[in-house]
Structure 1
Amino acid sequence: MRLSAAIADLLQAQRGHLFPWIPVFLGAGIGAYFSLKSEPGWAVYAGLAAVSLLLAWGAVQRRPLAFLCWAPAFAAAGLCLAGARAHWVAAPVLDFRYYGPVEGRVVSVDRSPTDALRLTLDQVRLDRVPAVKTPARVRISLKGPEQVPPPGALVMTTAHLLPPQGPAEPGGFDFRRHAWFKQLGGLGYTRAPVLLAGAPGDGVPVERLRRAMAGYLQQRIPGETGGFAAAITAGDRSGVGEQTLTALRKSNLAHLLAISGLHMGLLTGFVFAAVRVLFSLVPPVALRWPVKKLAALAALAAGAGYLLLSGGNVATERAFVMVAVMLGAVLLNRRAITLRAVAAAALIVLLRRPESLLSPGFQMSFAATAALVAVFAALRDREVPLGPRWLRPVAALVISSAVAGAATAPFAAAHFNTVPHYGLFANLLAVPVMGSVVIPAAVLALCLAPVGLEGVALSVMRWGMDWILAVAQAVAGFEGAVSQVAAPGDAVLPLFASGAVFAVIWHGRLRLAGLVPAAAALWLWSGAERPPVIIASSGGLIGVMEAEGRALSRPKGQGFTAGIWLENDGDAATQPEAAARWQAWDGVLPVWQGKGFRLVHAPGKRKLMQASACKEGDIIVSTEAEPEPGTCLLLTPGILRQTGSIAVRPDGGLLTARAATGARLWSGWYPEGAEIRRLRRLLAASAQLQ
């Protein structure tokens, strides 16, 4: 009874501050769904739904301890919500390599990490593939110069298509899961011309408007600056080169390129202030009408238009929801910037797209927003002076940049494996220009375009963007501008997030207890171990850990996989540099001697023939099938499709991508064969020799 009374008193002290916990527990259930190794059955969902309802009923009946019932109820609801969403978006996925005619409608145009233009098509038709097995969407990279078809156009080409690939290493980013929720059932490339099969229809008018605006801006503002303008106004990054992207990332200014909370906040804030000032200059309007609410409605309309114009991607949608909640609070005479508003925005986003919980954008944007609200609320409540009136904007900018940078740094480092050291300095030079020059000039240009007077506004906008790009190039060129960090273990981010959330949401001195799990997560991260051996799922690359870093078996080819491995190692080396680290060779074949086994890489038919005289205990990794039986163990792409990428752990155990991700809706694993069981026995025996 005493414990129950103590818990009731503790929760009673938090009365009025418990709403922000709803998206937290809902997110915990969503995260639990994605961490499962097998897909729950319908009986599990029905049971969880019943438990959730019973707990909700219990919460209503026992008000003092209601929160203890609501927490698992929302967690169970979150798991059911994520499962329902995964089944709702289910669409056919290719299970073979396809080469042949592809027809479809262009729904979006973007640029790949290798700087190639990509077309995303829906209404797909594939030769000799039944409609029930045809993907809802496919994405095709264009090799070589192409006339980009307009959105909505029906096109045809001849393309190579593959199923979405699994993680580049066990436990890594699962692109299959990402593609599942985008309904991308096939990805590939074409070297053939893309032909128009029909005029643009009426299905994607917003996309056509985006492309028209992006083309207009790139015509009026040439070069990288025009591409930057198209990116921040229409969400079209195809005009931004890889060198500029690298500079923005190294200077921690890449967030200016993505239409997210900063852009939406600056735009709606400028419109809100401008409309309020204009109405206030008209006394009859200012005295008779609620000017503040009218300005909020105008800002909300501007934000909605920006959402449509930018393509409505997840990051922009999330930013609009956050702004809409805050402007809605203004319309309802509530305080706009509170943790309740942030929690309401997070709740809406999770209810609409539960999978966004796993995205870096969701984690970083809400981490930054919640931290900023908490810090400035604490400064306000404690009446901390920020200096004289003229210095307060500068102090607020420095504090906000430092707080947002500190809040997002762990998530950015975990997802992107880099830590920019001069990001605060770069943001102090660039963000004020974005807010006071670029965004206002863009709004003025849009307003003046119908009468043909947008030229001056575009010139001002160009000056501001030139400055931002110059800052990015300069800061990226500083000595030691960026350092690399190794990828954390699976438990690090959830543990860190739980501690940080508790420290931000809880009221009272007990919030300091949240620093314990956050510090424990960072300690675990510092001791993270990378696998000594990784084998690509294609059989085209092997990476082994040497004293100076990971050594790769090939200096070129499989560049995407090689880049991910090195990034996760926290290694800044290029693929040729990592390949130069390989120490042992058997003729022209790279070999690595483990304890109890020998690993040989023989990609291609010619090299596989040279490895035919292998011995018992050898593991041959190849991109080709075995020409004749041998005494060694041969891992071919056909076998690796059963497992995905393979890692040998520091203890000698075997971890496959199949084991790490489990049998989920999006996995698509082939049945595991005898070769993998033999590989497990071989590695288990070798582990005993260590």
Structure 2
Amino acid sequence: MRAATGQAEGLSEKEGLGERRFPGRWWLPEPKGSEPPAHGTRQSRLDRLAAYFHALPRAFQADIDRGRLIVWASLAYCCGIALYFRLDFEPSLPAISVAVLALAPVSYMTHRGGRSATMSLLALSLASGLFAATLRTEHVAAPMIERPRSVTVTGFVESVQPTKSGQRLQILVSRIEGLRQENLPDRVRISIRGTESVPKVAEAVSLRARVAPPPGPVIPGGYDYAFRMYFEGVGATGYAFGRPQPASIGVAPLRLRLMGALERFRHGIAERIRARLGDGPAGALAVALLIGDRSGLDEQTVDALREAGLAHVLAISGLHMALFAGAVFAGLRAALALFPPLALKYPIDKWAAGAALAAATFYLVISGASIATQRAYVMIALVLVGRLLGRRALTFRSVALAALAILILTPEALVEPGFQMSFAAVIVLIAAYEEVTRRRAGREEPVGMPPGLALRFLKAIFGGFAALALTSIVAGTATGLIGAYHFQRVAPLGFLVNVLAMPLVTLVVMPFGVLSIALMPLGLEGPALAVMGEGLDLMVAISQKAGDFTPGDGLVGAQSAAGVLAAVVAGLALCLFPVGYRRLSVIPFLAAAVLMAAFRSPDLYIAADGSSLAFRDGAGELKVAASRLNFEASTWLRADAVPERQQIDRRLGREDWNCDRLGCVGRAHGEVGAAAAMPITVALVRRPAALEEDCRRADMVVTHFDAPRPCGRLAVFDRSVLNETGAVSLKLRQTPDGTLAIAARAVARSPDRPWGRIQPQ
């Protein structure tokens, strides 16, 4: 069967079909023995379109026959996981197990029988994804604290993470005052103030703390901290009243003792780096790049990198792993090549690949093994193993295997921004370079004298910058949309900044960082770290200068989830469809554009505990009613594309809000164009004494108490309602008949899902 070069394959003369080439490099079938309609006629266009779609299944089958089945199977597996997390109820594990067991022999028999096993394998992959996510949820299930309480927590320190004001301890629980053993959560996270007397990993501690269930999303559809904590086995979060004290509860588990030894090793590397580069941005960035510890980075540096589009440098991913392992491979191979007896008699290429694989494993261990690093490690390992076996490994199949390797063990990673952005970048890069390679293969080389040395040098320089530009454009576009949805931020100057800064990272920062790690056992890392620090200082300067020219800190506000999903589908179609059919991706692209254009931010936000809210005033600006600019208020304003330096100005003043010690009353508006026609009166009640009057006079009442019924002319959000809904967002609009319509969206943490059973108190 021919390789696909822009054609839909699978058509032959034996089937009674001829072939005819039409514009756009599509091979379209035409009934043999019939006269083709005249070009340009309506019948001709319809026949060509019908033939085009008629050949679509065979085009897909041709792609699958070339080894793409694992790619589509992994996508089906991802869809099964996504389906599980979108359900409002917990599916039955036995029922899903039966479905998987029933589909497995069907898929096997269709394959053995010589029939197309594609659909049966995709169905099996979908069911397997659903099964893996359900099984994972069952496996990590552990009790959670049901309500806030002050208790004494005793256990072993599992991790220590620096924060702005102190440290955050994750404790493997041994006992909690007032809780029976069967009700104990596996882990708790507790923040302590200060940096003195900080316990180390694997130490036994006891401390007095205020703990509560992990909070849910601040905005419907936003980041769900409780979801993440559930899958990490954390059943409570809180803060300590004092310093941790040593506890006598025996010896820590072996796993924690090994983690403690690894943490001390990583801490030793970090101290060596800081001793040479200091505690400034260069030292903190070097530690973040080499061992994955970002705790020393200040907010100004991180924000500058985000605004400039260089935040991906902080994630130890494919670039870092490739440079780390690639430097070991190239260096060792070059060193061995200096000895002709070795180079001529032994497979030094395979020796270098084995050493690079060991180096990549070492880097994975010391860097913290985040999702992006795991993906990069699997990809690099496949490439190096392919080198050992003499096979090419950097393909969509290797990406599919990397995704499966991660998602089989941790299906919840699919909904994490790091996983999505990491795999989106590598998929579009492989697709882009495959297209470049395909176009080059079809281009005829000029006949004549070979180019001179100077011309070859210029072509190499131009090719390097062209590759860097292509990488920045396609990877930035793929990750930018996902980043805009999760973080409400884009980097408009990201392309230019990456072209300027990434050569520094590729040619200076990472190579000398790798060299410094190699020289540390000899105590000779100083010069290499000095060069790395100079490169990092220049990178920070570039990002800060770019940040000065980035309007509004790059904030774009909340995005349409449906629009982003449609764009992801379009991107997958553009990258993975058979070549002649990739233009079909324009359909979901248009759908994404329409959905995003129609999307508008909510007009009113209500906190899950009813203590604060935000609403749009008559000028269309979102104002917050909160005692201080807390995390919830900052998140609401960020979703409305308000930069942090302007957020303090969005606190409600007396002209917007009538407040006293009992509560506040104000007017909320909808769309600016119809603001005069539909303001509503909103009351935020802080004392029970104001409930009766505000329930009678206000259109909407918000309170963290239980309100009497009826209350409010339109709606009431009190403790009983918010315990069921969680945080709420509302959109106000005027209908054609002049009445007010309210579209509400709630977090609605379903009690049928394990991570949503604990309701706010």
Common fold, TM-score beyond 0.5?
Answer: yes
1:556 to 628, 634, 659: 628
Return closer, same or farther for 1:272/1:617 CA change in 2, 3 Å cut-off: farther
Return closer, same or farther for 1:208/1:612 CA change in 2, 3 Å cut-off: farther
Name the CA distance, whole Å, in 2 between partners of 1:671 and 1:400: 45
Name the CA distance, whole Å, in 1 between partners of 2:350 and 2:295: 38
Aligned partner of residue 642 in structure 1, secondary structure: helix
Name the CA distance, whole Å, in 1 between partners of 2:752 and 2:501: 46
- For the 8 Å contact 2:167–2:195, the answer to whether it is kept is no
1:155 to 191, 194, 205: 205
Instruction: Please show how residues 449-464 of structure 1 align to structure 2 within 5 Å.
Output: 449-464=520-535
Aligned partner of residue 107 in structure 1, secondary structure: strand
Aligned to 2:729: 647
Give the CA deviation at 1:230: 1.5
Return closer, same or farther for 1:583/1:515 CA change in 2, 3 Å cut-off: farther
- For the 8 Å contact 2:493–2:550, the answer to whether it is kept is no
- For the 8 Å contact 1:37–1:662, the answer to whether it is kept is no
Name the CA distance, whole Å, in 2 between partners of 1:65 and 1:263: 41
Kindly indicate whether residue 680 of structure 2 is the aligned counterpart of residue 591 of structure 1: no
- For the 8 Å contact 2:626–2:651, the answer to whether it is kept is yes
Give the CA deviation at 1:502: 1.8
Instruction: Please show how residues 98-113 of structure 1 align to structure 2 within 5 Å.
Output: 98-111=149-162
Segments of structure 2 that go 5 or more residues without pairing to the other structure are: 1-14, 18-50, 446-455, 670-677, 733-740
Give the CA deviation at 1:157: 2.1
Kindly indicate whether residue 144 of structure 2 is the aligned counterpart of residue 93 of structure 1: yes
Give the CA deviation at 1:510: 0.5
1:288 to 333, 339, 345: 345
Aligned partner of residue 200 in structure 2, secondary structure: coil
Give the CA deviation at 1:63: 4.6
Aligned to 1:665: 754
Give the CA deviation at 1:621: 2.3
Instruction: Please show how residues 390-409 of structure 1 align to structure 2 within 5 Å.
Output: 390-409=461-480
- For the 8 Å contact 1:231–1:237, the answer to whether it is kept is yes
The amino acid across from 2:694 in the alignment is C
Give the CA deviation at 1:94: 0.9
Aligned partner of residue 637 in structure 2, secondary structure: helix
Give the CA deviation at 1:345: 1.2
> Which one is further off, 161-170 or 663-672?
663-672
Aligned to 1:192: 242
Aligned to 2:92: 41
Return closer, same or farther for 1:64/1:526 CA change in 2, 3 Å cut-off: farther
Return closer, same or farther for 1:485/1:139 CA change in 2, 3 Å cut-off: same
Please provide the CA RMSD for this pair. 2.9
- For the 8 Å contact 2:173–2:188, the answer to whether it is kept is no
Return closer, same or farther for 1:642/1:275 CA change in 2, 3 Å cut-off: same
Name the CA distance, whole Å, in 2 between partners of 1:402 and 1:7: 30
Give the CA deviation at 1:356: 1.0
1:207 to 252, 258, 263: 263
Kindly indicate whether residue 487 of structure 2 is the aligned counterpart of residue 416 of structure 1: yes
Aligned to 2:570: 499
2:587 to 500, 516, 521: 516
- For the 8 Å contact 1:36–1:662, the answer to whether it is kept is no
Aligned to 2:289: 232
The amino acid across from 1:609 in the alignment is A
- For the 8 Å contact 1:224–1:240, the answer to whether it is kept is yes
Give the CA deviation at 1:290: 1.6
Give the CA deviation at 1:671: 11
Aligned to 2:540: 469
Name the CA distance, whole Å, in 1 between partners of 2:187 and 2:326: 37
The amino acid across from 1:491 in the alignment is A
The amino acid across from 1:202 in the alignment is R
Name the CA distance, whole Å, in 1 between partners of 2:511 and 2:605: 50
Instruction: Please show how residues 26-105 of structure 1 align to structure 2 within 5 Å.
Output: 26-53=77-104, 55-57=106-108, 59-60=110-111, 63=114, 65-105=116-156
Give the CA deviation at 1:475: 1.4
1:220 to 251, 255, 276: 276
Return closer, same or farther for 1:197/1:473 CA change in 2, 3 Å cut-off: farther
Name the CA distance, whole Å, in 2 between partners of 1:481 and 1:274: 45
- For the 8 Å contact 1:549–1:571, the answer to whether it is kept is no
- For the 8 Å contact 1:7–1:65, the answer to whether it is kept is no
Aligned to 2:411: 354
Give the CA deviation at 1:656: 2.3
- For this pair of structures, how many residues does the alignment match? 665
Name the CA distance, whole Å, in 2 between partners of 1:184 and 1:22: 33
CA displacement, residues 171-230 of structure 1 (integer Å, 9 cap, x when unaligned): 222222111111111111224123344798724121222223223322332122222122
Return closer, same or farther for 1:249/1:146 CA change in 2, 3 Å cut-off: farther
- For the 8 Å contact 1:500–1:515, the answer to whether it is kept is no
Kindly indicate whether residue 150 of structure 2 is the aligned counterpart of residue 125 of structure 1: no
- For the 8 Å contact 1:22–1:347, the answer to whether it is kept is no
Give the CA deviation at 1:155: 2.3
Name the CA distance, whole Å, in 1 between partners of 2:557 and 2:684: 25
Aligned partner of residue 316 in structure 2, secondary structure: coil
Aligned to 2:549: 478
> Which one is further off, 532-541 or 101-110?
101-110
Aligned partner of residue 95 in structure 2, secondary structure: helix
2:436 to 348, 370, 379: 379
Aligned to 2:62: 13
CA displacement, residues 239-285 of structure 1 (integer Å, 9 cap, x when unaligned): 11111111111111111122222211211111111111111122111
Aligned to 1:686: none
Aligned to 1:429: 500
Aligned to 1:447: 518
- For the 8 Å contact 2:424–2:479, the answer to whether it is kept is yes
Name the CA distance, whole Å, in 2 between partners of 1:21 and 1:526: 31
CA displacement, residues 295-332 of structure 1 (integer Å, 9 cap, x when unaligned): 11111111111111112232322221121122222122
Name the CA distance, whole Å, in 1 between partners of 2:548 and 2:162: 25
> Which one is further off, 65-74 or 589-598?
589-598
Name the CA distance, whole Å, in 2 between partners of 1:71 and 1:145: 53
Give the CA deviation at 1:616: 2.9
- For the 8 Å contact 1:322–1:341, the answer to whether it is kept is yes
> Which one is further off, 164-173 or 487-496?
487-496
> Which one is further off, 663-672 or 122-131?
663-672
Aligned partner of residue 175 in structure 2, secondary structure: strand
> Which one is further off, 589-598 or 12-21?
589-598
Give the CA deviation at 1:592: 3.2
Aligned partner of residue 586 in structure 2, secondary structure: helix
CA displacement, residues 61-120 of structure 1 (integer Å, 9 cap, x when unaligned): 6655422222222111111111111111111111111212222222222245x6653222
Give the CA deviation at 1:481: 7.1
Aligned partner of residue 193 in structure 1, secondary structure: coil
CA displacement, residues 433-469 of structure 1 (integer Å, 9 cap, x when unaligned): 2222222222222222222222212212221221222
The amino acid across from 2:623 in the alignment is A
Structure (1 or 2) with the larger CA radius of gyration? 2
- For the 8 Å contact 1:144–1:191, the answer to whether it is kept is no
Give the CA deviation at 1:644: 0.9
Aligned partner of residue 236 in structure 2, secondary structure: strand
Name the CA distance, whole Å, in 1 between partners of 2:506 and 2:206: 43
